[in-house]
Amino acid sequence: MLHVITKHAPLLAVGILALFAAVSLRLAWTDGLTFDEVAHIPAGYSYVTHGDYRLNPEHPPVLKALAGLALLPLHPTFDVTQDFWTTADANGEYGQWAAGRHLLHEAGNDTDMLTFAARVPLVIVAVFFGALLFAWGRRLAGALGGLLVLLLYALSPSILGHDHFVTTDVGIAAAMALAFFALLTYLKRPSWRNALLAGAALGLAQVVKFSAVILLPFFALLVVLYPLVRTRSAMDPARATLLWRSVSRALVGGVVAVAVVWLVYAPFTLTMPTDVLDTIAPVKFAADDARNSFFRTATLTLNHHTLTRPFAMYLQGLGQVFNRVDGGNGAYFLGEVSSKPFRLYFPVVYLIKETLPHLALMLIAVGLGVASAAHALRDAKHPFRIRLQHFVTTRITELTLLSFIAFYAYISITGNLNIGLRHLMPIIPLIYLLVGVTLARALKRHAWGCKCRSLSVTVGVLFALLLADVIYAYPYYLSYFNQSIGGPQNGYHYVTDSNTDWGQDSKRLKAFLDRHPEIARIRVDYFGGDNMAHRLGTRFIPWWDSKRPLETGWYAVSVNYRQGSIYSTDKTDADSYRFLLHEKPRYQVGTSILIYFIDTEPDPDTP
C-alpha cells in the first residue's frame, strides 16, 4: 500500500493542494472582514497606487502589496484628499483605520468583492508554502515524508483558519521556512549560488514580518558553528578553510538580504514626501532611552536621502514593533483580563487549539525521534565524540529546526503579546515537518519488514481521525478548539482575541437574521472589520456594554467584547456585560457571536 502511495506522491500532492486551495478560497468568501484587515487592505492598495508608505508602517510591505495588486482590476474609489492621508494624529499616525473604513465601507465600493480579491494572493502564498513543505519532506524522508508533512499542514485548522486573511501570520511562516530551507542547503553545500539564494530568502523574510529579525543572530551562529562541527578536531587544517568559506560567502548573502529589503521598500518610499517620516518618527520614538534615540536618529537621517529612505522606512516599522511588544496587549485568558503577559498562555492555547490527532502524532514522533537518536549515539564502533559529530552533521536539519522551535517558543512565552496562537505560526509548520519526516522514516523501516504493523495502523487511524475532525469543524477554523474542551463553540470560555473572535462571523450573522424574520431589530456589539450598519440595514441597533438603560429585545454580542467586559477589573457591574452571566444565549452564530433575548430590564446595579 505504501509503495502505491509513494509511487503516485506528486499527483497526490497536487490533489491535496487543490482541495486545500478550494477550501481556503471558499473561506476567503464566506468569512467576514477581520479586525486587522481593515488596516492592511487599504495600506497595500495605497502602496501600489501611490508609491507611499505612510499607512501601516509597522508591518513590512510584501503581503499587503500583493493584496493591493489584486485590487487594481477592480478600480476601487480611494480618495487621498481626506484627512486619513493628509494629516497625522497626535500619536504620529496617518489614519490607517479611517482609510480602511473609507475604502471598504464608505466610498461606494463592493466590500465583499474587494475583501475576497485582496485575500486571493494570500491563499496562493499558502498553496506554494504547502508545495515547499512537500518538497522539503520528500528531500528528507522520501515521497512518503513529503505526503505526511503536506497532510499535517493542509489538515491544520491553524493554517486553514488564517491562510486566507490579509495578515502576515501564514506568510511569515512560509518566508521563515523558505529561509531555513535555503540556509540549510547552503550549509551542506556552501557554493556561491546557494549563498546568494539563502541571502535572498533571508531578505524576503525581513520584508514579510518584522519578527523575522530574530533569524539574523540564529543564522549567524549556524554559519559559524556548522563548519566547526564538520571537522574532526581543532587542529584539522580544513577547519579554518571551511569556516572562512562559510562565513565569507554568508556575508555576501547578507549583502543580498539587505539589497532585497531596499528593492522591496524602494517603490513605496522613493517618491514619498520627506515630511511623512519627519512627522511619524519623533512621536513614535519620543521616549528618551537608547533604543528610541537610535531609531529616531537613524530614521530621520536616512529619510533625508532618497536612496536611503527605504531603509529609514524599514527601521521606522521595526522600531514601532519593538515598542509595541514592550507595551503589551490586553487579553482575556482563563477568567482574567490583563495587559500583562500570561506565562501559561501559549502552552495552554496550543494544547487546546491544536487537533488531538496532531498532538498524538507529535507525541509518537517525539518517542520515535528520541529512540532513533539514542540508537545512533549508542553505536559502540566509534568513540562518542565521533558518534556525536556524525549525528549532528547528518541530522543538521532536525537539530536546527528543533533549536529554533525551542528558541521561538521561549521568546513567545516570555514576551508581552498574548494575542493569539497565530503568533506561534512560524514554528507550527516546522513542527509538522519534523513530525511527518520522523513518522515517514519509521514507517519505511517497519512497513515492508512487518516489524511494527501497529505503528502503520496507528498512524493511519490518526490521520483518518484528523481528516474527520477537520471536516466536522468546517468552516470554524479560526475559532477551532479541540474536543478536550468541547470544540470551537466552547473556546471563548478559555481565551478570546484572534483565537476565537476576529470578526469572521459577520456574514453569518446576516444569514442568521435572514432565517429569523421574527427578529425585526437587534442590538449589536460586534468586534471585527465589517460595517454592521451596512450589513444589517434597518435591523441594526448599535450597542455596547455600558449603554444604559437596558432594553427589552434581541442582542448580538461578540464573545471578545463579552469576555473582555465581564472579566475586566476596570468595569463596574453597571457598565459591563455581567448581567449576561445570568442569561443563556438563545443562539450562537458561527462561534463568535452570541444571541440573547432580554425580556426584562435587569437592575443595572446587579451583576
| The predicted structure's pLDDT at residue 448 | 45
**Gap between the Cα atoms of 321 and 59, Å rounded:** 8
Print burial letters for 68-87: b (CB count within 10 Å at least 16), e (below 16). bbbbeeeebebeeeeebbee
Could you tell me the pLDDT band of residue 387, with boundaries at 50, 70 and 90? confident
pLDDT at 244 over 50: yes
- Residue 472 contacts by C-beta under 8 Å, 6 or more apart in sequence? none
| Residues written for the chain | 607
**Overall average pLDDT of the 316-320 stretch:** 96
| The predicted structure's pLDDT at residue 359 | 98
| The predicted structure's pLDDT at residue 579 | 95
Could you tell me the pLDDT band of residue 511, with boundaries at 50, 70 and 90? very high
Quote the cell numbers at residue 267: 517603490
Contact 219, 202 (CB under 8 A): yes
Greater confidence (353 vs 242) lies with 353
**Overall average pLDDT of the 517-534 stretch:** 97
pLDDT at 601 over 70: no
Contact 356, 484 (CB under 8 A): yes
Please state the three-class secondary structure of 167-215 as a single string.
CCHHHHHHHHHHHHHHHHHHHHCCCHHHHHHHHHHHHHHHCCCHHHHHH
DSSP labels, 355-389: -HHHHHHHHHHHHHHHHHHHHHHH-TTS-HHHHHH
pLDDT at 238 over 90: no
Q: Within 10 A of 122 (CB to CB), how many other CB atoms are there?
A: 27
Residue 495: strand pairing partners: 333
pLDDT tens digits for 84-107?
A: 999 999 989 999 999 999 999 999
Q: How far apart are the first and last CA of the chain?
A: 61
| The predicted structure's pLDDT at residue 330 | 78
**Overall average pLDDT of the 347-354 stretch:** 97
**Overall average pLDDT of the 209-230 stretch:** 92
| The predicted structure's pLDDT at residue 174 | 98
DSSP labels, 78-141: --TTSHHHH---TTS---HHHHHHIIIIISS--HHHHHHHHHHHHHHHHHHHHHHHHHHHHHHH
| The predicted structure's pLDDT at residue 331 | 85
| The predicted structure's pLDDT at residue 447 | 52
CA distances from 192 to 96, 179, 197, 245, 496 (A): 42, 16, 9, 10, 48
Contact 139, 93 (CB under 8 A): no
Which backbone phi and psi does 505 adopt, to 5 degrees?
A: -105, 15
**Overall average pLDDT of the 539-565 stretch:** 97
pLDDT at 247 over 90: yes
How many Cα atoms occupy the beta-carbon half-sphere of 532 within 13 Å?
25
> 68, 37, 31, 34: which is closest to 52 by C-alpha?
68
pLDDT at 235 over 60: no
Point out the least confidently predicted range of 127-131, 133-137, 380-384.
Answer: 380-384
**Overall average pLDDT of the 80-84 stretch:** 96
Could you tell me the pLDDT band of residue 340, with boundaries at 50, 70 and 90? confident
What is the rounded average pLDDT for all residues in the chain?
Answer: 93
Residue 595: strand pairing partners: 556, 587
Q: Within 10 A of 524 (CB to CB), how many other CB atoms are there?
A: 24
Could you tell me the pLDDT band of residue 450, with boundaries at 50, 70 and 90? very low
pLDDT tens digits for 283-296?
A: 999 998 999 999 99
| The predicted structure's pLDDT at residue 385 | 74
What 8-state DSSP symbol labels residue 232?
Answer: S
Contact 5, 144 (CB under 8 A): yes
| The predicted structure's pLDDT at residue 453 | 78
Greater confidence (344 vs 394) lies with 344
pLDDT at 534 over 50: yes
pLDDT at 607 over 50: no
Could you tell me the pLDDT band of residue 606, with boundaries at 50, 70 and 90? very low
| The predicted structure's pLDDT at residue 320 | 95
pLDDT at 449 over 50: no
> 359, 381, 486: which is closest to 431 by C-alpha?
359
**Overall average pLDDT of the 35-59 stretch:** 97
Quote the cell numbers at residue 384: 562518542
Greater confidence (386 vs 120) lies with 120
| The predicted structure's pLDDT at residue 452 | 62
Which amino acid is present at 397? T
pLDDT at 343 over 60: yes
CA angle 138, 143, 149 (to 5 degrees): 60
